[in-house]
Amino acid sequence: MIDINLIRTSPDTVRENIRKKFQDKKLPLVDEAIELDIKKRALQNEGDALRAARNSLSKQIGLLMKEKKLDEANAVKAQVQQNAERLVQIEKETEEVSARLKTVMMSIPNIISPETPIGKDDSENVERERFLEPKVPEFDVPYHLDILEKLDGIDIDSARRTSGQGFYYLTGNIARLHSAILTYARDFMINKGFTYCIPPFMIRSEVVSGVMSFEEMEGMMYKIEGEDLYLIGTSEHSMIGRFMNTTIDSKKLPLTLTSYSPCFRKEKGAHGIEERGIYRIHQFEKQEMIVICRPEESCEWYEKMYNYTVELFVSMQIPVRTLECCSGDLADLKYRSVDVEAWSPRQKKYFEVGSCSNLTDAQARRLGIRFKGEKGSEFAHTLNNTVVAPPRMLIAFLENHLRADGSVFIPEVLRPYMGGMTEIAVKE
């Protein structure tokens, strides 16, 4: 949520930002926000004036009663009663106007970075850098489900019976590899100075509305029937929610946290062969990183965070590239975002395995996350980034380390987490 002062002083800047995000249907919201803000302040001023008058009139009543001027005293009492009734009405109107203003403000997208390329969708994202040389082996790389089945590492059919489409069982050495990648990622981030956390996997609606836009919530979140609880789509949700309505001591900033969690997503509209298997699913696990910092530090942390993900993938000998997300591909809360994509030897192209975002103070405003600085109480900046999400990471890992005989090579950094194994062999 942007600062209301920006709409008061620079509404054209806000309108231009909406146009850059190709959300022209939201342009009327700027005028509505201005009107609601004016109305809210007018109601507040009227209410303040009536409260001040109440104190003055109360004194008048006392003086008039002492002077035995009962008619005049009763007239003033009537005025006090009339003012009290108007105050009740003002408070009700203010509550209604404030609620609508909040809804409008939460629908207006965050101001994007000057570095963000302008484009309508992810097809116009801009490549930044590549790391390691992408290779295509001389043999055909099978679809990842075929690789997993030959390694006796997955059971899709049983998962369909127990849970439906979009779920799977991982078994044997593949299940061990999945856990090894997560554990290695955890230790990797701890060694970068991040504090490890395991958060709640369900959150209340006030946290959900604070961490994402209404459109994202509807398309992603699973609601627990009969309770004010949602299953998290990423641990960022509950990790950021932890600091809701708090003021952090500036000496503790930046807060650098890495979290493990299962994640649950509706994933509406998935289709095509690459959307099957374990690429786009309803349940997966992820290691995340979260930073809460001062405004002047967030751009530096943004660069650090996605480079940690690059470093992690490179350490496992997986070629990756980074893409600067264009304006139309940014979620409403994001100031700037970069995707990390891994190389797929089978598809002969890169595919997304993680995303790093700087939300400046937009998320903190929604959730009331402040810190005490030299200027007094300020809104913090929040950032989040995927360290690793094994389902997609597992696809990249298998394709890039597959051998002609069907076995899969285990890079040295993962061997301590795999009991010293150097490969996963095909099961006879």
What digits encode the pLDDT tens for the residues 349-392?
999 999 999 999 999 999 999 999 777 899 999 999 999 998 88
- pLDDT for 58 equals 66
Residue 260: per-residue pLDDT: 96
For residues 129-145, give the mean pLDDT.
95
State how far the Cα of 245 lies from the Cα of 256, in Å rounded to an integer: 19
Q: Which residue, 394, 392, 330, is CA-closest to 357? A: 330
Query: What structural domains and CATH numbers belong to the chain?
Result: 4-107 (1.10.287.40), 122-424 (3.30.930.10)
**pLDDT value for 79:** 74
Q: Is the predicted pLDDT of residue 170 greater than 90, yes or no?
A: yes
pLDDT number for residue 272: 46
> What confidence score (pLDDT) does residue 60 get?
67
Indicate whether 215 pLDDT > 80: no
The pLDDT-based confidence of 221 (bands split at 50, 70, 90) is: confident
Phi-psi region of 141 (alpha: psi -120 to 50; beta: other; left: phi over 0): beta
What is the average pLDDT value for the chain, to the nearest integer?
91
Terminal Cα distance for the chain, rounded? 57
Q: Which of 214-223, 257-266, 270-279, 332-341 has the weakest average pLDDT?
A: 270-279
Region 139-149 average pLDDT: 93
Share of the chain above pLDDT 70, in %: 94
Rg, the chain, Cα only: 28
Q: Is the pLDDT of residue 310 over 80?
A: yes
Q: Report whether pLDDT(259) > 80.
A: yes
Q: How confident is the model at residue 336 (pLDDT cuts 50, 70, 90)?
A: very high
pLDDT at 269 (0 to 100): 52
Q: Which residue has the higher pLDDT, 71 or 308?
A: 308
> Which tens digit of pLDDT belongs to each residue from 126-136?
999 999 999 99
Q: What is the pLDDT of residue 281?
A: 84
> What is the tens place of the pLDDT at every residue in 17-44?
999 999 999 999 999 999 999 999 999 9
The strand ranges marked E within 171-273 are 195-197, 202-203, 222-223, 230-231, 246-249, 255-264
Checking if the pLDDT of 271 tops 50, the result is no
CB-count burial class (<10 Å; 0-12, 13-18, 19+) for 162: exposed
CA proximity to 287, closest of 341, 222, 239? 239
Q: Name which of 303, 221, 208 is nearest 266 in CA terms.
A: 221
Percent of the chain topping pLDDT 90: 76
Each residue's pLDDT tens digit, 51-103: 888 767 766 666 667 667 777 777 777 777 778 888 899 999 999 999 999 99
- Would you state the pLDDT for residue 309? 97
In the structure, what pLDDT confidence band is assigned to residue 14 with cuts at 50, 70 and 90? very high
pLDDT of 211 reads 86
CA distances from 327 to 7, 124, 146, 331 (A): 20, 9, 37, 9
**What average pLDDT score do residues 313-317 get?**
98
pLDDT(222) > 80? yes
Distance CA 252, CA 16 (A): 36
Which band of pLDDT confidence, cut at 50, 70 and 90, is reported for residue 273? Answer: very low
At 396, list the tokens: 């990249």
Question: Tens of pLDDT along 235-247?
Answer: 999 999 999 999 9
Q: Is the pLDDT of residue 155 over 60?
A: yes
The pTM for the full model equals 0.89
pLDDT of residue 274: 45
Enclosing H/E stretch for 225:
none
